[in-house]
């Protein structure tokens, strides 16, 4: 049996100003802290003193067990498996294919997590995950004793796991079952001394069922994060002001920016690009990694 984390409420995420190191990255752990204020990004977790203490305890146990501070895992469905999620930040893309725009203060975070290769050619950003698959529900992640999730955590030895399930569940899973399955995924990650960063899901508007049930599934993600005392990325909230609420024409997956006359650019953070769902998720994930690293890894100030 895995360790079960006792429930305790935490405050829902709000806009925060994160802090980040600006020295060269290394795998041995966070370098000495030299911090600068970062841009505000809607949906970044609020890490108050209570949440910081809980996650710092997880982090320190993980470091003592040999986990790698400069490595994170990606856990989820097709929206996480997609080549549009974070992969442009990794070394396998060849020449740099990102444009941070006015968010260049996040470059040290990108460089920090990109500096450690997790296999011959990939960093955390672009390594295909064993635990992110098209059509996956939270229940699929738990099949065979959560074998693929456990394999991914063992292979990477990450300090953080970015988790998003629900876009497939909303069509096929009872709400109570979804909540229980998502809780179990989180507990397995915590038992491995890895910090789970849980994300709300985009709106899915391809059927009357998904339209009707979507809000309750978003609420369930928030409830699980609060009960398990883990950071919550409110991706749903960040998407609401966008055209089509950041969802593509298939009404399931996030939309994606394309250069005029060119190809897709998921790692562009220009004003035009940030009208698209994948671009917003990539910015939000990078900002969240920066905030977790500053507050939890480097023992920086908690959010008020």
Q: SS3 of 37, please?
A: strand
The residue whose two tokens read 């991914």 is 152
The model's pTM is: 0.87
Distance between first and last Cα of the chain: 36
* pLDDT tens-digit profile, the chain (304 residues): 333 333 333 333 333 333 333 233 334 433 333 334 678 899 999 999 999 999 999 999 999 999 999 999 999 999 999 999 999 999 987 777 899 999 999 999 999 999 999 999 999 999 999 999 999 999 999 999 999 999 999 999 999 999 999 999 999 999 999 999 999 999 999 999 999 999 999 998 888 988 889 999 999 999 999 999 999 999 999 999 999 888 878 888 898 999 888 888 999 999 999 999 999 999 999 999 999 999 999 999 999 9
> Could you give the angle at the alpha carbon of 14 between the alpha carbons of 193 and 204, nearest 5°?
85
Phi, psi of 160 (to 5 degrees): -135, 145
Domain boundaries defined on the chain? 19-297
| The two three-digit tokens of residue 148, written as one number | 């693929």
Looking at domain 19-297, its CATH class is alpha beta
CB proximity list for 246: less than 8 A, separation 6 or greater = 202, 238, 239, 254, 255, 276, 277, 280
d(CA 183, CA 209): 23
Q: Looking up tokens 């939270």, which residue turns up?
A: 138
Q: For residues 194 and 83, give the distance between their C-alpha atoms in angstroms, rounded to a whole number.
A: 24
């Amino acid at each position: 049996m895995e360790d079960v984390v006792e429930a305790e409420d935490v405050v829902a995420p709000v806009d925060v100003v994160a802090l980040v190191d600006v020295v060269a990255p290394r795998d041995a752990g966070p370098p000495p802290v030299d911090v600068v204020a970062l841009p505000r990004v809607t949906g970044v977790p609020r890490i108050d003193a209570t949440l910081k203490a809980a996650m710092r305890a997880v982090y320190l146990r993980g470091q003592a067990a040999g986990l790698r501070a400069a490595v994170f895992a990606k856990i989820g469905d097709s929206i996480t498996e997609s080549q549009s999620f974070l992969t442009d930040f990794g070394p396998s893309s060849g020449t740099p294919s990102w444009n941070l725009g006015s968010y260049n203060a996040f470059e040290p975070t990108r460089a920090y997590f990109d500096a450690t290769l997790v296999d011959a050619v990939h960093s955390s950003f672009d390594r295909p995950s064993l635990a992110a698959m098209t059509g996956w529900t939270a229940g699929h992640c738990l099949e065979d004793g959560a074998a693929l999730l456990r394999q991914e955590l063992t292979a990477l030895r990450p300090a953080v796991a970015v988790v998003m399930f629900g876009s497939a569940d909303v069509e096929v899973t009872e709400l109570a079952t979804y909540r229980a399955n998502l809780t179990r995924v989180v507990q397995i990650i915590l038992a491995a001394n890895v910090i789970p960063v849980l994300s709300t899901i985009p709106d899915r508007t391809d059927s009357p069922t998904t339209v009707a049930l979507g809000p309750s599934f978003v609420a369930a993600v928030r409830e699980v994060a609060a009960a398990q005392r883990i950071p919550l990325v409110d991706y749903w909230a960040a998407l609401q002001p966008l055209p089509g609420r950041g969802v593509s024409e298939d009404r399931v997956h996030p939309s994606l920016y394309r250069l005029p006359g060119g190809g897709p650019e998921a790692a562009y953070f220009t004003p035009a690009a940030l009208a698209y769902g994948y671009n917003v998720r990539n910015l939000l994930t990078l900002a969240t990694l920066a905030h977790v690293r500053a507050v939890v890894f480097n023992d920086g100030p908690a959010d008020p």
